[in-house]
Chains A and B, each alone.
Chain A
């Protein structure tokens, strides 16, 4: 009964636009970045680099679908990572030896703090009735300067050797066309979280409510949906994902440099979400689209690197890509 809707609408750009753009970009990158781009190790590097902000972009998709925005994610990441590392160091300094449990404790602390930070954002937005842009602009400053104050603008180095092993760890080692390949943990985290969030968004009541609230909050309210709660949880989920990304990145560096950690992450996360086809005004979007969006951003950067283009021009290109992708989305409406 519902099979023939596509016929009259013709080509469904909303569904296929992002995958096709990614495929086209891969071809271009393979040509521009010849002969290095297409090598498995490079592709895996691209994916790993995309994962950290990618994980944040997944939940940013929730926030944007709900009709909001979260500018605080970069600072929040720095804050979560700092707390995680401090907690690990505290455990090590209090007689606990180098166990994986300590690493788990640090990661859990990061995620938990992320959830709390997200809850603060969510509460101010829903109970405090302040617009998301202002609330998260404020907390962006608060989270960043809290870390700077704690570290005296310096860095928090992890004392755990296991933590850095966790940061470099990879799963599934195998050999393909003569190269030894292994998939780093962040890539797994990205795909697992994407699968979970996509399930939440597409198949559960919460996902349906999230889109309803983002499309038309008044209709949602009249339809007996608790608009405030739905919004609140979007920010909490976002905070939790920030915590995950922050601990993975901190483990990678084995240290948290408070002035720089997570800087401009909000820009990359929002850009990936928008490129992935989520509507800025809320109500519509897909998690997998966002995954494609963050891969695209990273591929562009990698390709331009290989072509020897300065990082400043790379920033310019990134900006153009964001604007063009939104422009294309507008055309179909």
Chain B
């Protein structure tokens, strides 16, 4: 008999009068992996934050834990009750070693006064070996990969004997191989009786991993049932509430032979080794690699943010000397950052201010550089219409917009300089399915109508396969190969990215 751990009954949550969750009813059973999916803004994270005690109290409704009505008033209370949340952004302190991080906030003490470092270290080794991961307890956080950090967050949950582990978008930062390891681990935790709530955008993963799936739309549960009964397409349709054709638009067919942008033998000590490739007019060139392969570092070198020790960048056949991002803009290069909040947009700036941040010289007078706010306003309105950005006004701060809408503004910002070469780094990270589709359509439209050549940097194989005319694959800072047309397959790309040819029978 499956035992029920958590029951959520008629739960409502509003923020300043705006309902985010409406009449949620959901059971979570012991030893199951429950997938929770929904578009950005559907209320997934809010629901989970209520369970983890971060949002308290709910506007209405109740939560039962082991059949008893329970108040989860704060995160410490949640942890005491056996509920752990692994947030999208990890909560790790960079300057502390692994074992201190695991016991952060619940340090083991000697005589109630002194930290018992030896005991914490010992327990850490136990925990990590239980998870079957090889991380030194003394390692510094900054030296760990994203996957290893994820493992640490899981160890933290184990250290507190959690019964319920909530994972919010755990695979965003992980590579294919790391995801496999994570999945094995999650299944193993389930065997040991742990309950896992798995929040994700990636339907394929939800399909592969979860036992049951609950779908949220506009703050309501629109579906709750066994995962096996649904295809990913059905899931996507339930999520957006309409029929979805294919995620990717028809492939771009406007590639020409003329090279517009070329990187020749570029090296950055310790990061890039003798990298060369060429981008042709009107094509979408993919740049694929696992984490640490040096994809983003190439973009940063092109922008002049990293100093190269050798090699040359040429634009339309002429050598281009780029020392700072301003020079790159001058050469018609534009960059969409992979780290939206870190280096893409200013969340406290308005929609309009973000959109024109790079192209501001275009809107300002010669004298005093006075900004022509009317032209700015008109242009931004045009982008809002074109991208179908959901915002009440262009004066709204970006922090009040969803991830997908933020990304659209980030895109508008990048193309407002009218670039000829557009480097797009992870354009759909943290973006929901329908916004993803819109972004793909838009990239192809840019290439076709505006004759822009795109370098699409991505760690999502699907995206590379669905979008690119050619793909350059990197591993450990070097180009390992180039594929075109029908040769762009999952196997071929992964073989180049890992240096290992996968066994087809596996």
Contact = CB atoms under 8 A, between A and B. Distances in A.
Tell whether A pairs with B: yes
Contacts of B392: 4-5, 8
A205 B372 CA distance: 10
Contact of B368 (A204, A209, A223, A226): A204
A222 B361 contact: no
B419 to A, nearest CB: 11
Interface stretch (A212-220, A256-264, A296-304): A212-220
Given A205-B371, A219-B357, A224-B358, 18 more contacts: A1-B381, A5-B392, A204-B364, A204-B368, A204-B370, A205-B360, A211-B353, A212-B357, A218-B342, A218-B343, A219-B345, A221-B343, A222-B343, A223-B325, A223-B357, A224-B324, A224-B325, A225-B326
A316 to B, nearest CB: 34
Contacts of B395: 2, 5
Interface string A1-40: 1101100100000000000000000000000000000000
Interface string B357-380: 110110010001111010001000
A222 B353 CA distance: 15
B326 A224 contact: yes
A204 B348 contact: no
B346 interface: yes
Given A5-B393, A224-B326, A206 B381 contact: no
A205 B326 contact: no
B329 interface: yes
B360 A221 contact: no
Q: Which of A203, A209, A224 has the most CB of B within 10 A?
A: A224
B305 interface: yes
B393 A222 contact: no
A77 B373 CA distance: 37
B337 interface: yes
Interface residues of B, number: 36
A219 B325 contact: no
Given A204-B371, A205-B371, A208-B360, A221 B393 contact: no
A118 interface: no
A2 B343 contact: no
B55 interface: no
Q: Which of B328, B343, B361, B377 has the most CB of A within 10 A?
A: B343
Given A205-B371, A222-B343, A284 B361 contact: no
The 10 closest A-B pairs by CB, nearest first: A205-B369, A224-B325, A222-B343, A224-B326, A205-B364, A224-B329, A2-B393, A223-B357, A223-B358, A2-B395
A204 B360 CA distance: 10
A114 interface: no
Q: Which of A200, A205, A215 has the most CB of B within 10 A?
A: A205
Contacts of A218: 342-343
Given A222-B335, A223-B325, A284 B348 contact: yes
A184 interface: no
A263 to B, nearest CB: 35
A68 interface: no
Contacts of B305: 221-222
B370 A4 contact: no
A283 interface: yes
Contacts of A199: 368
Contacts of A2: 377, 393-395
B369 A222 contact: no
Contact of A221 (B325, B349, B373): B325
29 contacts: A1-B381, A2-B394, A4-B393, A5-B392, A5-B395, A5-B396, A203-B371, A204-B364, A205-B360, A205-B361, A205-B369, A205-B370, A205-B371, A208-B357, A212-B357, A216-B343, A216-B347, A219-B344, A221-B305, A222-B303, A222-B335, A223-B325, A223-B358, A224-B329, A225-B357, A226-B324, A226-B326, A283-B346, A283-B348
Q: Which of A204, A211, A220, A222 has the most CB of B within 10 A?
A: A222
A219 B346 contact: yes
A4 B394 CA distance: 11
Nearest to B369: A205
A5 B396 CA distance: 7
Contact of B371 (A208, A211, A226, A283): A208
Nearest to A221: B325
Contacts of A206: 369
Contact of B346 (A4, A205, A215): A215
B346 A212 contact: yes
Interface string A178-210: 000000000000000000000110011110110
Interface of A: 1-2, 4-5, 8, 199-200, 203-206, 208-209, 211-212, 215-216, 218-226, 283-284
B407 to A, nearest CB: 14
Contacts of A209: 360
Contacts of B361: 205
B368 to A, nearest CB: 6
Contacts of B353: 208, 211-212
A225 B324 CA distance: 9
A266 to B, nearest CB: 26
Q: Which of A209, A219, A283 has the most CB of B within 10 A?
A: A219
A204 B342 contact: no
Nearest to A211: B349
Contacts of B329: 224
A204 B371 CA distance: 5
Contact of A215 (B349, B364, B371, B373): B349
B338 to A, nearest CB: 11
B380 to A, nearest CB: 10
Q: Which of A1, A206, A223 has the most CB of B within 10 A?
A: A223
Contacts of B325: 221-224
Contacts of A215: 346, 348-349
Contacts of B303: 222
A5 B361 CA distance: 27
Q: Which of B326, B335, B357, B396 has the most CB of A within 10 A?
A: B357
Given A223-B357, A226-B324, A203 B344 contact: no
Contacts of A220: 346, 357
A1 B380 CA distance: 12
A199 to B, nearest CB: 8
A222 B324 CA distance: 9
Contacts of B371: 203-205, 208
B149 to A, nearest CB: 21
Nearest to A207: B371
Nearest to A284: B348
Nearest to A206: B369
Contacts of B345: 219
A284 to B, nearest CB: 7
Nearest to B348: A215
A212 B349 contact: yes
Nearest to B344: A219
B435 to A, nearest CB: 21
Q: Which of B371, B394, B396 has the most CB of A within 10 A?
A: B371
